[in-house]
Amino acid sequence: MTWLLLAGAVVFEVAATAVLRVSDGGRRRRWLPVVAGGYLVSFGFLSFALRAGMPVGIAYGVWSAVGIALTALLSRAVFGDPLTRTTALGLALIAAGVVLVELGAR
């Protein structure tokens, strides 16, 4: 159950970040309530995952790392942002770091 809650946190965080891009950095103000709502729901899911017993180091590490990776991939697919070899290597290193943190917590 904790992983499902964490997945919800990641999905809403990535969606809010994508909408932030659509808002043109806040210049299109009508999108800002959607951005704020997405982040609030994301933090809500994250807090529920912590309350359900997930260690904060694991929760935050996975939440931020998966969020970074999904945001980069979504930005490439939707907005045409560059996804270079260096970026891909960075994402792989982030993933490896999260795995190491998870293994270290056991």
Are the C-beta atoms of residues 18 and 39 closer than 8 Å to each other? no
Determine the pLDDT at residue 68: 93
Report d(CA 89, CA 101) in Å as an integer.
18
Residues of the chain predicted below pLDDT 70: none
Determine the pLDDT at residue 51: 97
pTM confidence score: 0.87
What would the two tokens of residue 15 be? Answer: 């969606």
Determine the pLDDT at residue 24: 81
Determine the pLDDT at residue 48: 97
